[in-house]
Structure formats: structure tokens, C-alpha cells
Structure 1
Amino acid sequence: MTYAVRLSDISHGFRRQNGVTQVARQISYDFEKGKSTALIGRNGAGKTTLLRIISGALRPNAGAVLRNGRVSWPVGFAGSFHGDLTAAQNCRFSARVHGADSETLIENVRTMAGLGRHFHEPVRDYSSGMRSRLAFALSMALPFDTYLVDEVTSVGDANFRKTSQQIFKDRIKSASAIVVSHNLDQLRQLCDRAVILEEGTLFHFDNVNDAFTYYRDKLFA
């Protein structure tokens, strides 16, 4: 099996008032290349944190992440934008970083995000939903080998949700993906397999339905 992303003995935790919350406990796991994997877990289990570790935006306390090809930032996490710049200026900066044509990228993102006149206003003035739409459009407009997605296709109105899901389906025909969502129907459509993050451990399932059955029974036991 060729991996898209390999986690090697990843450990990570947060120190809080009532102690340490452990997100990962020596996790070793290969996300298979060319497959879409659902990442499932309770609220607060650490799914978004794990995506940030996989993307390289967050360094784990221990262990290593090996990436086979270009991995996107977590789509839905818009913390990488410079707030004083407009969406267009942020796109131009990303084009330079990733070696893309600036004007083509800007036009593709402008059309996909559907932000209207706000596309030329500072990102600091955006709502969280607008930032998520921009993050989604920018990541889809750039070619990645593995896409990381954090609930982003739930953002916006019905038309945007439908459009974004179709765009994402098209991208993963030739790429890998790790998808966080609480929407079972969406995960069934997008993912080949699933992992559950529970108390710092990943549990693998070859079938998304089996993962949700296990998750539901454990959650409501």
C-alpha cells in the first residue's frame, strides 16, 4: 500500500486547568494514497487538531508526519489568511508560494467563492462563513495530492453547499482526502473508508457505515 500521509508515533496533548487533554497517543497510521478517509469522533476529540498536525500547521509533541506529495491546509480552517489583505491579495500571495498563475487563480477563486464585492475587501472584516468559503475556493483552485477538509461543505446556502460538494467530488477523483464531518450521508458519498479518533487512538474501518454504527453504539452506550 502506498501512503498519502503516514503518522509515525504521533503524540499530542493540551495542558488545561483540569489537567492534560491527550489528542493523540503514539498514533501510527497510513492514510492510503488515492483513497478518501472519513475522520470521525466526538466534539472535542481532537479531529481538527489532528488535521492541523497532518497539514504541518501544528507540530506534534512527539512523532513525525510523512507526506507523499502536496497536502492542503485544512479546508474550513481560515487562520492562514492575512487579515489586512483582501481575498484577491491573499490569492496572489498563495499563487507565488505554490507556483501558480496569479491572475488565473484569482479569477477561479473569485468565481467559486461567490463573495461579490467583498472579494476586494480586507479578510479581517469577513464573517467566519465568508472565510470558510474563501478557504474552500482557494484550496480547490490549487492542485493538491491530498485534501484535508473540516466540515467546509456545510458552509453557506444550499446552492453553495451543492456546488462545493460537487467540486470536491471532482477533485478527489484523482487525489486523496481526509474528511471531517458529522453528516453520515455526506461521508457515504465522499469517502471509501473511515477512522474514529477516540481518547487519542485511531480505530480503522473499511466501511463508513460500520464506523458510524460503532461510533453511535459507543456514544450512546
Structure 2
Amino acid sequence: MMIALDRIFKFYKTYGVTKVVLDHVSMTFEFGNSYGVLGINGAGKSTLMRLLAGTELPNDGKITRSVRVSWPLGFAGGLHPKMTGRENVVFVARIYGHDTIKTLNFVEDFAEIGSYIDVPVQSYSSGMLQRLAFGLSMAIDFDCYLIDEVTAVGDARFQARCQQEFNKRRQYSDIVMISHDMNTLKQYCNRGVVLADGKLHLFRDLEDAIALYRKLNR
């Protein structure tokens, strides 16, 4: 067992309307498998990813993680805007029990933002913020990486570096990935999960999940 959902209930209230994302769902993501998450726009895939990461809590139910799970890859929302890039990296390294100097050296080299590492991240461009967040994601060792759409960060050379670094992690880590690109899912995942009408449909064969998704998306 890698991540277990036990009767998870998650809803939002917007302008008096209740949107149920997960309706008392139970499911287990098993260690040694990588999962592609599919669903039509607005189904709640990103909410599911935040729940798996622990950056958002369910209204009811329990999520158990038996391995070290990442935040959504490249997610910059957890960085404190008034802290510098350096301070953010050191803070996260300490939380995860990593060597602060080693982590900082890796991120500085990888993100390639130069002296901006000592500037509050609220002044960063979106590209700089993504580079810092991706570098930090790669600097911490996780057993399971969460990926909410693969976004192109930086120029072609930097994207190639990201791909190379991520491929190293895949050798010993599992993945839970959201993507609308079926070829990307086939490249990274062997199992599929379809989120529809507050329910999760688990498929041991990714192709079966893709077939259901296409049927829902007609």
C-alpha cells in the first residue's frame, strides 16, 4: 500500500451551490505501480492531487500514506512569497530532513536563477518561480511523485534537463499523474484512474481507463 483513501468526502460550496468532488470514496494506490488520473474538465482531478499530497484536507474520511509522497510537481503555491528563494529551500529541506547545504546547492545549480535566489519569491516571474519549484521538487527524494499536468518550464535546453532529472527519479519512485495527453500517460503509467461524478474508477490496465475517459468526453 502506498496511499489509501478511506471513505473520502470532499465538497466545495460556491455561490450557494455544493460541488461534490469525492463522494465517500475508498481506494488504494499500490506501491510498485504508476497511475494516470483522467477525468473531464471540472471533475476535480487537481483537488484529488492536493488531497493525495496533503496540501488540502477532506471534509470527511481518512487518507493514509505509507511512503514519502511529494507535493504536486512544480507546485509553487507552498512557497512563502515574502521569503527569499534560499530561505524557502532551506525551510523545505529541514521539514523533510534533508541536508540543507546539499539541497540548496542542487536547487541553485538546477534552477539557474542566479542572484535572485536571495530575493523574495513574490518578485519572481512565473518562469523563475516554476524553475525554483521544479528544482526543489527534484532535490527531495520521494517514493511517489505527484504530477498535475506536465508543464513546459523554460527553454528547450532546460526542459531537457528537467526530463533527464525526472527520469532518474522514475527508476526508484512511483508516479500519480494527471494529463490530457494519452501518449504521456502511456509513457509513465501502467494503471488508470477515472474521476467522474464524485467516484473513482480504478483500472489495472491504463487502456481501459482511457476508453472510459473518451466515452465520458464525447
TM-score normalized by the length of structure 2: 0.92
- Residue 211 of structure 2 is matched in structure 1 by 213
The counterpart of 1:103, out of the listed 101, 104, 122, is: 101
Counterpart for residue 161 of structure 2: 163
Conservation of the 8 A alpha-carbon contact between 2:81 and 2:121:
yes
Deviation readout 1:163-217 (Å, 9 max, x if unpaired): 3233222212212221112222221111111111112111122233332232122
Q: Which residue among 3, 12, 15 is the counterpart of 1:14?
A: 12
The match for 1:149 is: 147
Superposed counterparts of 1:1-221, under 5 Å: 3-17=1-15, 19-220=17-218
Shift of 1:7: 0.6
Runs of 4+ in 1 over 4 A off after TM superposition: none
Shift of 1:116: 3.3
SS at match of 2:62: strand
Q: What is the aligned-residue identity percentage?
A: 41
Letter matched to residue 134 of structure 1: L
Structure 2: how far apart are the matches of 1:155 and 1:194?
A: 26
Deviations 1:117-162 (A, max 9, x none): 3333211112333323222211211111111111244333333333
User: Matched residues in 1 for 2:74 and 2:47: separation?
Assistant: 13
Tell me if the contact between 1:75 and 1:136 (Cα under 8 Å) persists in the aligned partners.
yes
How many angstroms apart in 1 are the aligned matches of 2:195 and 2:153?
Answer: 23
Encode CA deviations 1:100-124: one digit per residue, 9 max, x unaligned.
1111101111222233333332111
Q: State the distance in 2 between where 1:178 and 1:29 align.
A: 14
Superposition RMSD in Å = 1.7
CA contact 2:194–2:212 (8 Å) conserved in 1: no
The 2-side partners of 1:68 and 1:20 are apart by 32
Work out whether residues 70 and 146 of structure 1, in 8 Å CA contact, stay in contact via their aligned partners in 2.
Answer: yes
C-alpha distance in 2 between matches for 1:160 and 1:209: 31
Q: 1:51 to 1:139 in 2, by over 3 A?
A: same
Say whether the 8 Å CA contact 2:107–2:132 is kept in structure 1: yes
Q: Distance in 2 between matches of 1:205 and 1:157?
A: 36
Q: Counterparts of 1:208 and 1:117 in 2: how far apart (Å)? A: 44
Contact 1:9 1:62 in 2 (8 A): yes
Separation of aligned partners in 2, 1:114 and 1:199: 42
Between the aligned partners of 1:17 and 1:38, the Cα distance in structure 2 is 32
Q: Deviations over 1:7-66 (max 9, x none)?
A: 111010000125111110111111111221111122221111111111111110011000
For structure 2, which runs of at least 5 residues remain unmatched after alignment? none
